[in-house]
Structure 1
């Protein structure tokens, strides 16, 4: 198990810009989106997470990635998504620089994105997100996440799943 860095409680000497946009790059017929930045210590999501040892909540990272993907792909952020897999591999603290890479492919089942978030000490999260071509309302779709809502997903040991196999 990796130990937490000794300077974990200290803020970066130079503020890191927010993770607020992705840059596209076409690779082998796939679209690759990349971005870098941080969650600010004053971001509203930080309230209460956690006093004296601030951490960025995993669901907030999923929401930020969803918003950035929608903005980059010209989609409405209110569109439901299917969170096929979410693995949170290490804690993220405010002002830590994150690097995001999303490989996006159009398939018959919709738009699929394989997302990797890396922090200063290695990988922090891996996500698989699907934007199906059409969905019923989120309440009728097990495992579907709408902005600000988690429906029938299971959170256990840092893994969010729809109840289906890996």
Structure 2
């Protein structure tokens, strides 16, 4: 069984729906979930918010947060997850914002990815993972796997 199928089965059993707010993964989480036939009873919607303007307009991320800490931060990951929950009919949302590469900076290196997990009625969880300069494709793939791990965590702790 694939990781996506496993998540869908867990959420189906709970009667929960999923939304995602993705930046550096560009919709890869939703693509992986919707690759599974029958996913429409669990997958609610996805937000691909690659630009800062999209994060503000589609998810309600505060411009002040983007200015103060930047898009690659746990604060913005939290606001993305909260916004996805607010602007969808999902029970659980996961958010991803990071530097897939190539490039980065001394303060925000390649491979730094911030995640948010929002479950209705619970505090939002955030986490930063330093994948390192693994190359764009590998950082994105590992980010999807981490998002799946967070979604499994939410189901297991329902």
Q: Same fold (TM over 0.5)?
A: no
TM-score by length of structure 1 reads 0.31
TM-score by length of structure 2 reads 0.32
